[in-house]
Structure 1
Amino acid sequence: MTGTGGEEMGAQAARSRALAVLRVRSRALAVALLPAAVAVVLLVGGATGRLAGSGWDAARWTVSVVAVLVLATAAAVALVVARSRPAATPTVTIAEESAPDLYRMVRDLADRLDVPAPSAIALTPDCDSWLEDRTHPAHGPPPAPRQTDPAVPGGPARPRGGAGPVLVIGSPFLWWMRVGELRAVLAPVVAGTGPSAHPDIAAARRFIRGLDAAVAVASAGRRNPLARAACAGLGRVCRLLLRACRVHAAQMERGVASAAAERAQAVDYGLRIAAQEQVGLAYAGWDRLLTRVALPAWRMGRWPSRLDVGVVAALTELSRRDRLAEGFASRLGERPACDLLEEPGAMDEAVSLLTARLFHGGPETGPDWSPVDWDEYPEEVVDRTWRTDAARLHRVLDTLGVRRAAEEDTAPGTEGPTLARVLDHLTAPADDPATPPAPAAPTTPPTPQATTASAPRTAPHPPTGEAPAPAETLADPEDDDDLGGTTTRGAALAAGLSAQLAREEAAAQRAGAGTAAPTTPAAAAGAVGPDAALWDDGALPLLPLQPPRSGREILTAHITAMVCCAAMDTAGATPGLDWLDGPSLLFDGARAADLAPSVLSLVETGDPGPLRDWMTELGIRPEKPVRLV
């Protein structure tokens, strides 16, 4: 439904709410000027002799001092609000010369919608798209001004005024969606530039963003008591204004979204309905890729340099496994939206590095942090992860005083770390209870910073592709290490592994403190890279993927890694990559099955029988030593 003169009702509602926000700003200014106005009246009255006497003199001095203090405070608040850096999404800006087809498509879309075109286009590692105002000086210089845009099919060139908002596109959309689907999904977003260009709405948004940035400045920790007191007052004033604007600002944004959606109905409406299915599918594939595939690589100091290509591979694999997604594979014959980029590989590399920094933290420079291609992933990530975990497992066994095979009466050639050592230690004696009380905390408890980055809270996904057993569910919050379902020896080993992981993470943080952030090879050569003006390295990671694992989950993962090492060294198995499940163990090119229940039986009850039967069937020899890192 449209209003008078063809204007959307949503735009009218947004404009009225923007005026309400600006009225809040005007009232705040009036309150700040009120003591000064009263002081002026008293001073003029004293100068003309109408307000004479000692009482009026005292009132003049008191009100004048209050007016000066209020004006100084208001000026300080206004200065902080105006100069504070508004929050901005970390992105990789796409230069127009590196994606002329993409810019042409967006401008053609803006012409069809009769709205101003976005001033720039940027990619972010998220499954969403939006407009973002970056006209604040702290966000870097605006794009070079031009008199007119190049002519686009469907209409003449459009004159450009001030710098418009930046169109932020989720990078998974650009690689998974087809060109037509991307245009249909972006239509409501681009249509939002129309209401956003209205002066009242733009001024209201600037005021809200300034208040939000000022609250962030006031919340920053400071040691100086005077600075803390000033920031407390600043934060109180800004929060009061934000509360007064909250309802109006929310209704204003709803009106803008409603107007944009109404205007976009005239462009690819039917295709947009079908494309929305791809949005949910891309989100599921992106989340699975980050948590199952990218996270193990980041922990090993390697960042996959083609994450967006991995999304396509993961969703293609899903289309083969899930009958509900079979129809999606036929789309792959159409032109992908990433073809709109001149160098999609370089852009994917820059977005992949940005993803690693956002979700894992600021990486260190040097050989301990480097990109990895997908064809190198099994050897560089999977194999190294398993052997590193196996080495840690044997170091903890040494700490617990568990004898190696060389110290016992064993056959020659069995010296060194073996899987049999682990199995023998975890095998529960006849008098060992299956569910002992949780052991005491280790002498070196993990620090919050170390445990946050150490491992995920969810149950470890073994390299078998099997569904997790019921015992792999999350622990009760009252049981810190979730060791109630293990044997006494298993609980002690899990506690030792948790403490060892915490020490390694703390040492890595100390070693990485003060190192500079790396750049991609393409960025080092002067190509694309994350926008440096939007970074705050001290706040990384902004979005940590998962909380830490429990002690039982850590123990299960380390035993699984040891079994995989024995399988590779004694039975000819190979490490592999599953796009949906992450690291996997392959026998003759096929994924191994039934490993997870066997390992859980050993961890929970101390019964190695199922695991030994599984290894015997595949020819794995636990008494043979394995190669560690």
Structure 2
Amino acid sequence: MTGMGVEVGVQAARSRALAVLRVRSRALAVALLPAALAVILLAGGSTGHLVGRGWDLARWVVGAVAVVVLLLAAGIGLVVARARPAMTPTVPIAEKSAPDLYRLVRELADRLGVPAPSAIELTPDCDSWLEDRTHPAHGPPAGQDHPHGEPDAPRGLSPARPGRTGQAPVLVIGSPFLWWMRVGELRAVLAPVVAGTGPSAHPDIAAARRFVRGLDAAVAVASAPGRPPLVRSVYAGLGWVARLMLHGCREHAALMERGVAAAAAERAQAVDYGLRIAAQEQVGLAYAGWDRLLTRVALPAWRMGRWPSRLDAGVVAALTELSRRDRLAEGFTSRLGERPACDLLEEPGAVDEAASLLAARLFHGGPAERGRNWCPVDWQEYPDEVVDRKWRTDAARLHRVLDRLGVRRSPGSAADPHGPTLARVLEHLSAQSPAAPSATSGKLRERTVLPADEPADDTRPAHDDEAHIAHHPSDEPDEQGGHGGHHGHRERPKRQKPAERDEHPEHDEHPERLERLEHPGHGEHLDHGEPPGVHTQPGEPAAPEDPLTPDENPGLGSERGAALAAGISAELAREEASEPPAGTAPTGAGQVAGTPPRSEDSLPLFPLEPHRTGRELLADHVTAMVCCAAMDTADASPGLDWLDGPALLINGERAADLSPKVLALVEDGDPVPLRNWLVDSGIRPEKPVRLV
């Protein structure tokens, strides 16, 4: 460690902190300027130098302006001082629940020659930092014990007392680091972070940070909704002043933090420098595994109303699997024999559960505590509680949309002849030209909205022209199970000439119907923004517009696929609209006793819900239907892949080659690859499946 480098970094940070404080001083000077001018005018009048009607008027005007400016400045200063700075939602770790972890941090601070952090907390993220909790609003409620220990705890690991400006910051550690990293690696990664408590203790740097955080909190207070118009206008002016000062000190504050980080990194050079280089590789690996675990494994469970209660333990399994698959990660699994950092906790399971619930709250917006529709799930129960339910729910939604589209059910078994089958989906999505509608699509455009008491069954007689098209020779199944025509595509029906119409008088009654059949994009339902074939029944909420058409979505080449994808999107939108939003628990609900109240009114803070296109939704639902058929007819089972999420297990092995077959059906309308795969796997698509 070079003391000169540390001093240079601290001095650079201090100079920038003084620049930030000068912005505050200038603002105060501007607020006092009218008052100073009023004092000069009053003094001049009392001494007989500034006399006359003009000077008297000036004294009254300047005095009134000074009073108004002072009142506004006092109000702004009061809001900045009382506004609660943003605080990261974390899981507090009491010293009695992690004495070894606190001891490691103390020893690290001793080696670095800096004050120890005041407390340790965990966050469900792959990062670590210091967070100031000296604001009075961040202290524990009156009359409650602090969760971090008694006030006389040694070496600065005592509770943060309200209004105590000399308190050391709180050390926030990413929970995945504790489970994936070894003890030595964690110490090496935390060394630069803990070293930052030294510059943070400097009075000028601490004052500059408090000023910037106060301005940021004042801007948040000024932009809060739900105020009367007059009060809102006053707060708008307050927000403008706070933003103006933030703009003036933004560059200096950024350079100040950069200087603090440089000084901390320079001070930490002497502590496990070689090990820290290897530990940084584990940080990058943890980022990849944690992101994959949240988006592929945890997100499907959150959507089903279940939250995995051992996310941090799951990231170890995910990273181990990633190390096994990735050649660049070879040798990383050999370090698993060393002592993991989670052994520094007395009850790692309880801490993991609390961090997992907080992750669900931050990334998905779930409730703050478990309930009837928000239950924890273990990894052993994940395949049955999440994967099986997800597939059957998606398959049920797929068949509901097919029912809305008027698609006939394929004949099933004798016990359930009209049960939901995979064959129904295969026949509906089999290839046909985007411009050539089938009998079903023609029927869709002739359907009208049925009364609420009339079921939309498939037993109604078809019109003569529909029957004529339905029995067209090109619509007969070919030898491979597809439709007739070249490569399974049906030929486009030709428009009849006037002479031919005389030979078929049944077409003279509705000449515009054939026009709509030949040009399905010009249907009357599309003119009203309704997806093709999706009809809203009386009493149902109107489905939002979905722009999926074969022309706009090149991934869906057939009209049937586009209509089905649009129907699934509309059905999902209806389900999301009918579900109550994730309510925010009252202040203090679901929190550990004694912890400060959290401000989580706008959860999720970091939503992971990706925008899924119609092609992706259709492929997911068809895959779910295939998996349901495999589980019910071929003794397959649901499984969990730590990197890819839900997986289908056939004879104990993952069916990794299913996705290309499903995409061939969805994108190209080619059912042959999927049918061959079903035959090879012993799956019977004509058998009914069990849905949710």
Amino acid at match of 1:534: R
Distance 1:490 1:26 in 2: 66
Amino acid at match of 2:329: A
Distance 1:95 1:249 in 2: 32
Task: Give the equivalent residue in structure 1 for 2:500.
Answer: none
Shift of 1:44: 2.0
Distance 2:589 2:348 in 1: 17
1:149-184 superposed Cα distances (whole Å, 9 cap, x missing partner)? 1799xxxxxxx9942100000011011000000000
The answer to whether residue 566 in structure 2 is matched with residue 492 in structure 1 is no
Amino acid at match of 1:551: G
Task: Give the equivalent residue in structure 1 for 2:357.
Answer: 353
1:515-562 superposed Cα distances (whole Å, 9 cap, x missing partner)? 769977xx7xxxx589562232x2001101133211111111001000
| Aligned partners of 1:350 and 1:529 also within 8 Å | no
| Aligned partners of 1:2 and 1:9 also within 8 Å | no
The answer to whether residue 604 in structure 2 is matched with residue 541 in structure 1 is yes
Please, which moves more after superposition, 318-327 or 72-81? 318-327
Task: Give the equivalent residue in structure 2 for 1:465.
Answer: none
Please state whether the residue corresponding to 1:576 is helix, strand or coil: strand
Task: Give the equivalent residue in structure 2 for 1:217.
Answer: 221
Among candidates 202, 205, 228, match of residue 206 of structure 2: 202
Among candidates 333, 341, 348, match of residue 344 of structure 1: 348
Task: Give the equivalent residue in structure 2 for 1:584.
Answer: 647
Q: Gaps spanning 5+ residues in structure 1: where?
A: 153-159, 452-474
Distance 1:541 1:148 in 2: 36
Task: Give the equivalent residue in structure 2 for 1:420.
Answer: 423
1:173-209 superposed Cα distances (whole Å, 9 cap, x missing partner)? 0110000000000000000000000110000000000
Please state whether the residue corresponding to 1:131 is helix, strand or coil: strand
Shift of 1:590: 0.4
| Aligned partners of 2:85 and 2:217 also within 8 Å | yes
1:12-411 counterparts in 2 under 5 A? 12-141=11-140, 146-147=151-152, 149=154, 162-363=166-367, 366-405=371-410
Among candidates 545, 550, 555, match of residue 613 of structure 2: 550
Shift of 1:513: 4.9
| Aligned partners of 1:92 and 1:122 also within 8 Å | yes
Shift of 1:3: 6.6
Percentage identity across aligned positions? 72
The answer to whether residue 74 in structure 2 is matched with residue 11 in structure 1 is no
| Aligned partners of 1:125 and 1:171 also within 8 Å | yes
Q: CA separation of 1:515/1:52 partners in 2, compared to 1, >3 Å: closer, same or farther?
A: closer
Distance 2:550 2:49 in 1: 78
Shift of 1:588: 1.4
Distance 1:139 1:323 in 2: 46
Distance 2:178 2:667 in 1: 45
Please state whether the residue corresponding to 2:380 is helix, strand or coil: helix
| Aligned partners of 2:182 and 2:339 also within 8 Å | yes
Distance 1:241 1:162 in 2: 25
Shift of 1:484: 5.4
Shift of 1:148: 5.8
Q: Gaps spanning 5+ residues in structure 2: where?
A: 141-145, 158-163, 438-488, 490-518
Amino acid at match of 1:100: P
Shift of 1:447: 6.7
Please, which moves more after superposition, 425-434 or 577-586? 425-434
Please state whether the residue corresponding to 1:265 is helix, strand or coil: helix
Distance 1:585 1:178 in 2: 34
Task: Give the equivalent residue in structure 2 for 1:615.
Answer: 678
Shift of 1:10: 0.2
Please, which moves more after superposition, 76-85 or 317-326? 317-326
Q: CA separation of 1:327/1:533 partners in 2, compared to 1, >3 Å: closer, same or farther?
A: same
Distance 2:202 2:542 in 1: 56
Shift of 1:47: 2.3
Distance 1:310 1:123 in 2: 17
Please, which moves more after superposition, 40-49 or 84-93? 40-49
| Aligned partners of 1:350 and 1:530 also within 8 Å | no
Q: CA separation of 1:513/1:168 partners in 2, compared to 1, >3 Å: closer, same or farther?
A: closer
Please state whether the residue corresponding to 2:635 is helix, strand or coil: coil
